[in-house]
């Protein structure tokens, strides 16, 4: 059983939910990314999702696009992110999922990337723009090196495609709550709960929800049906304010802790 499976097994036994903070690797630089990863690991993160910077992140809204631009401007590469993972692994065991686009992975070399990712300490790979119909080769390398392939499921993903995803996915799937890009939202669409229930019945594995998760209130509203929550733009935006010295770090820390409390306790602190 891999580390990600163990996370969901433990949470399921305690009826708690996974909190999965997202950050963009290299934003605003590698050293500060490492400090942020360490903070998350020390304050309740069950899995950490690291975005691989890409020049055309089509699924991401303005907040994460800006983070990727900052990371690329700082010279971040896929190799430097793997080195970042190695540094993190010296002291922390929190599972890590790399979230990125096929272009950088393909340019690196798919098998070489999987081998190097495993050696660095990566646990899973989410390829945003890889449809299940074209996933066989990349997934075969991920399985060869004991990496978890993670797939996105959207509100418009039909049953046939969900079953194709089920063929390749392991550990969990990531339900995108909206038909749009990443970003903070006050609430999620009215049919989100219905769609999430349908997907869970078909996929029969832990399902986390992301895109628009921005408050403990949203977490609580889906607590009974989701297995975890990915928080991206809400954290990236607040972290950027710290880097630019316009927000106190304590406010950011308290915000994350409030999200972790909601995930692990099922109530608002």
- Show Cβ contacts of residue 123 under 8 Å, excluding neighbours closer than 6 positions: 2, 3, 4, 47, 95, 96, 97, 147, 148
DSSP state of 133: G
- What does the pLDDT read at residue 178? 60
Cβ atoms of residues 25 and 18 within 8 Å: no
Give the model's pLDDT for residue 180: 46
How far apart (Å, rounded) are the C-alpha atoms in residues 112 and 45? 29
More confident residue, 179 or 253: 253
Cis peptide before 206 (omega within 30 of 0): no
In this structure, what is the dihedral angle of CA atoms 152, 162, 199, 184, given to the nearest 10 degrees? 20
For the whole model, what pTM was predicted? 0.94
Catalytic residue among 27, 46, 49, 240: 49
pLDDT at 61: 74
Condensed to tens digits (0 to 9), the pLDDT of residues 10-41 reads 998 888 999 999 999 999 999 999 999 999 99
Residue 228 DSSP one-character state = E
Q: How confident is the model at residue 147 (pLDDT cuts 50, 70, 90)?
A: very high
Q: Is 247 noted as a catalytic residue in this protein?
A: no
Bridge partners (DSSP) listed for residue 100: 127
- Give the pLDDT of residue 185: 45
Strands 173-176 and 152-153: parallel
Percent of the chain residues past pLDDT 90, beyond the cut: 77
In this structure, the number of other CB atoms found within 10 A of the CB of residue 144 comes to: 12
DSSP assignment letter at 52? P
Residue 268 near residue 217, CB atoms below 8 Å: yes
pLDDT band at 269 (very low <50, low <70, confident <90, very high): confident
3-state SS, residue 184: coil
- What are the pLDDT digits (tens) for 47-90? 999 999 998 877 667 888 899 999 999 999 999 999 999 999 99
What is the pLDDT averaged over residues 140-161? 94
Helix axes 136-144, 110-120, angle to 10 degrees: 30
Cα separation, 100 vs 182, whole angstroms: 14
Going by pLDDT thresholds of 50, 70 and 90, the confidence category of residue 1 is: confident
Q: Is the pLDDT of residue 206 over 70?
A: yes
Give the whole-angstrom CA distance, residue 198 versus residue 7: 23
The pLDDT, as a whole number, for residue 182 is 46
The residue annotated as part of the active site, out of 60, 116, 123, 184, is 60
- How much is the mean pLDDT over the chain? 91
Residue 181 has pLDDT above 50, yes or no: no
Question: What is the mean pLDDT of the segment spanning 160-166?
Answer: 94
- Secondary structure E strands in the chain: 18-24, 48-51, 96-100, 124-127, 148-150, 152-153, 173-176, 207-210, 228-231
Would you say 107 and 60 are in contact if contact means Cβ atoms under 8 Å apart? no
Q: Is 184 a catalytic residue?
A: no
Residue 248's pLDDT is: 73
């Amino acid at each position: 059983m891999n580390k990600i499976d163990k996370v969901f097994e433990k949470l399921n036994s305690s009826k708690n939910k996974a909190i999965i903070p997202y950050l963009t690797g290299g934003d605003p630089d590698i050293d500060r990314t490492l400090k942020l990863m360490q903070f998350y690991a020390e304050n309740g993160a069950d899995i950490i999702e690291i975005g691989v910077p890409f020049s055309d992140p089509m699924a991401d809204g303005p907040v994460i696009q800006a983070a990727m631009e900052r990371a690329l401007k700082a010279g971040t590469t896929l190799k430097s992110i793997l080195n970042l993972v190695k540094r993190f692994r010296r002291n922390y065991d929190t599972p890590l999922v790399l979230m990125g686009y096929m272009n950088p992975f393909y340019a690196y070399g798919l098998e070489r990337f999987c081998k190097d990712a495993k050696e660095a300490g990566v646990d899973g790979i989410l390829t945003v723009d890889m449809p299940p119909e074209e996933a066989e080769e990349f997934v075969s390398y991920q399985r060869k090196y004991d990496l978890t392939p993670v797939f996105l499921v959207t509100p418009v993903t039909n049953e046939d495609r969900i079953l194709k995803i089920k063929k390749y996915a392991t550990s969990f799937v990531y339900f995108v709550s909206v038909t749009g890009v990443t970003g903070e939202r006050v609430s999620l669409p009215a049919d989100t709960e219905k769609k999430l229930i349908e997907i869970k019945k078909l996929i029969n594995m832990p399902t986390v929800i992301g895109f628009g998760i921005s408050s403990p209130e949203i977490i609580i509203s889906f607590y009974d049906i989701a297995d975890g929550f990915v928080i991206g733009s809400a954290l990236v935006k607040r972290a950027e304010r710290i880097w630019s010295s316009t927000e106190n770090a304590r406010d950011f820390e308290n915000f994350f802790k409030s999200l972790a409390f909601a995930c692990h306790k099922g109530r608002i602190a």
